[in-house]
Chain A
Amino acid sequence: MGEVAAKLKIMPESTDVDLNQLRKAIEKVVPEGSRVHAFAEEPIAFGLKALIVAVILAEGTSGTDELEAAVAGIEGIRSVEVVELGLL
């Protein structure tokens, strides 16, 4: 089995949340063996921005639950959604 990449769309609690702080926090909580590949910001509406993160999952990871739960636990994050998933 090859490695799997997941793209997550992260919504902040409010427009006041500093997305750069979220980036740092996400880098720290990614499960062992998985790694953050890239970040991007996606403008949504009325000043709200989603933080997009591409993560390369640890070899042999089954599912995205652990990653989603780890990221969802960060303060300032409202919701986490896996928007794309594919083998590298």
Chain B
Amino acid sequence: MAQTKPHMNLAVIGHVDHGKSTLVGRLLLDTGAISPHVIEQFKKEAEAKGKGSFEFAWVMDSLKEERERGVTIDIAHQRFDTDKYYFTIVDCPGHRDFIKNMITGASQADAAVLVVAAPDGVMAQTKEHVFLSRTLGINQLIIAINKMDASNYSEERFNEVKDEVGKLLGMVGYKVDEIPFIPVSAFVGDNVVERGDKLSWYKGPTVLQSLDDLKEPEKPTKLPLRLPVQDVYTISGVGTVPVGRVETGVIKKGDTIIFEPAGITGEVKSIEMHHEEYEEALPGDNIGWNVRGVGRKDIRRGDVCGHPDSPPTVVKEFTAQIVVLQHPSAISVGYTPVFHCHTSQIACTLTELKAKLDPRTGAVKEKDPAFIKAGDAAIVTVVPTRPMVIEKVKEIPQMGRFAIRDMGQTIAAGMCMETTPR
């Protein structure tokens, strides 16, 4: 099938019960992503069960059942088209233990819709998701202030919530002037695809229009090559074949490459993707590449492939900004949890708590705190227990994010600010 429109990965984030799923359902229904015969079938089922009216909630339930009955492998996301893009849309689970998957997972979102219910305003998960979107490098946001029907379509209430969310976004470094804030009622269908009569005071774009206004994400081909190794194989008649996904830069057949922290160089003999040979691979490509001069035992998962003139940075320590999501007690110097960063999992020790940050302003609230706990943002010094590749988030954002795990929980999420190379 020819794919002419550019693709966007869209994440829907926000506090539980603020109407994320309802917004997704409304987008799909009103853009015609649900085929008419399915809608027709729902109507018949509704009538058969004595439900006279064709209610939106019924559509939502039926859609979920329809997905579960289906056999598609792509059940975790949904698809819909706008004039400009085709979107795959993921409704993010709010639970913290899924955050690891958002950070180390393969399908990085290009943009996010943050859903905030007008009657509630900013809640705990709203803050958490805003911080995480920033950490994850999601630079384009659309704010849907939902459930306006439950706030009497009040412009005053909209502005209050808008200010509250705006402060939060500004604090983590988003340019608030460039972000659309849209009053919507996903349940009624106001300002998602169709305009809402009761929101005539609002003159800005609808959610659908804002989606079309998003900028097409650029592939980071100009950054240095960073290709984390997922697994390494020896294939008979071929040789050593690491597999992985290109994060940044371009790898070409014939290139001399280096694996770090292994410190081993070799030559790219060939590159394959979907069992077809390619001359080069770009960010996002899942490839296997055959390397001359490198044995299977020389490299392993977590090593990163780059070019010798700008090799992956191996650190002896680094400075990071983290936010503590959950911890049963308090975190102090000496704590050694596991850092999940690209394909590596390495135990790292917090050797210094440099500063605790004010969650409202981002300014330093306390220097050299004795401990940090759930809800705190902090600047810390980290020493990996063995050599580790990580990059400054300002230079190579794709390689500078991590999740901190301990006791089966995601304790914190963070980004690397400064590195001390080995």
A interface residue numbers (CB < 8 A to B): 1-7, 9, 11, 14-15, 37-40, 42-48, 52-54, 56, 62-65, 78-79, 81-88
Q: Which residues of B contact A43 (CB under 8 A)?
A: 274-275
Closest to A14 in B: B233
User: How far apart are the CA atoms of A25 and B272 in the complex, in Å?
Assistant: 29
The DSSP consensus for interface residues of chain A is strand
**Known pairs A45-B289, A63-B100. 16 more at Cβ < 8 A?**
A2-B21, A11-B230, A42-B274, A43-B274, A45-B243, A46-B238, A46-B241, A54-B76, A64-B100, A84-B74, A84-B90, A84-B107, A85-B76, A85-B98, A86-B77, A88-B75
A14 CA to B90 CA, complexed, in Å: 32
Closest to A2 in B: B21
Q: B73–A52 contact, CB under 8 A?
A: yes
With A9-B106, A84-B77, A84-B90 already in contact, the answer to whether A46 and B230 are too (CB < 8 A) is no
> Can you give 26 contacting A-B residue pairs, CB < 8 Å?
A2-B64, A7-B73, A11-B230, A11-B231, A15-B235, A38-B75, A39-B73, A44-B243, A44-B272, A45-B241, A45-B272, A45-B274, A45-B275, A46-B235, A47-B235, A54-B74, A54-B75, A64-B98, A79-B231, A79-B301, A83-B105, A84-B105, A84-B107, A85-B92, A85-B98, A88-B64
The answer to whether A45 touches B288 (Cβ under 8 A) is yes
- B91 at interface, CB cutoff 8 A: yes
Most buried by B among A4, A7, A47, A86: A86
Query: Which residue of the partner chain, among B64, B93, B290, contacts A4 with CB atoms under 8 Å?
Result: B93
Q: Do A1 and B243 touch across chains, with their CB atoms under 8 A apart?
A: no
What are the nearest 7 A-B pairs in CB distance? Answer: A45-B288, A63-B97, A45-B272, A86-B76, A87-B91, A83-B106, A86-B90
**Complex CA distance for A16 and B231, rounded to whole angstroms:** 16
CA–CA, A33 to B156, complex, Å? 46
Say yes or no: A62 contacts B95, CB within 8 Å. yes
- CB contacts (< 8 Å) of A52 on chain B: these are 73
B residues within 8 A CB of A11?
230-231, 243
8 Å CB contact of B105 from A1, A14, A82: A82
Is B200 an interface residue when CB atoms closer than 8 A count as contact? no
Within the complex, the shortest CB–CB distance from A72 to chain B, in Å, comes to 12
| B72 CB–A CB distance under 8 Å | yes
Q: Does B218 contact A (CB under 8 A)?
A: no
Question: Main SS of the interface on chain B?
Answer: mixed
Q: How far is the CB of B214 from chain A (nearest CB, A)?
A: 19
Mask for B57-90, Cβ within 8 A of A = 1, else 0?
0000000100110011111110000000000001
Let me know if A87 and B230 touch, CB within 8 A.
Answer: no
Size band of the B side of the interface?
35 or more
List residues of chain A with CB within 8 A of the CB of B102: 85
- A44–B275 Cα gap in the complex (Å)? 6
B94 within 8 A of A: yes
Give, as a whole number of angstroms, the nearest-CB distance from A67 to chain B. 11
Cα-based distance from A18 to B20 in the complex (angstroms): 40
B287 within 8 A of A: yes
A86 to B95, CA, bound (A): 11
B232 to chain A, nearest CB (A): 9
Q: Which residues of A contact B64 (CB under 8 A)?
A: 2-3, 88
Asked whether B16 lies within 8 Å of A88 as measured between CB atoms, the reply is no
CB-CB nearest in chain A for B94: A1
Q: Closest A-chain residue to B405, C-beta based?
A: A65
**Most A C-beta atoms less than 10 A away, residue of B20, B73, B409:** B73
Q: Is there an interface contact between B75 and A5, defined as CB atoms closer than 8 Å? A: yes
Among A4, A45, A87, A88, point to the contact of B68 (Cβ < 8 A): A88
Which residue in chain A gives the minimum CB-CB distance to B64? A88
Answer whether A48 and B90 are a contact pair too, CB < 8 Å, given A38-B75, A87-B20, A88-B68.
Answer: no
Instruction: Give the shortest distance, in Å, between A84 (CB) and chain B (any CB).
Output: 4
Within the complex, the shortest CB–CB distance from B339 to chain A, in Å, comes to 16
- Bound together, the chains give a CA A64 to CA B288 distance in angstroms of 26
A56→B68 contact, CB < 8 A: yes
Whether the Cβ atoms of B76 and A6 lie closer than 8 Å is yes
B52 contacts the other chain (CB 8 A): no
List B89-119 residues whose CB lies under 8 Å from chain A. 90-98, 100-102, 105-107
Which residues of A lie under 8 Å from residue B76 when comparing CB positions? 5-7, 54, 84-86
Residues on B with C-beta less than 8 A from A47 are: 235, 275
Over the window 190-232 of chain B, the binary record of Cβ atoms lying under 8 Å from chain A Cβ atoms (1 yes, 0 no) is 0000000000000000000000000000000000000000110
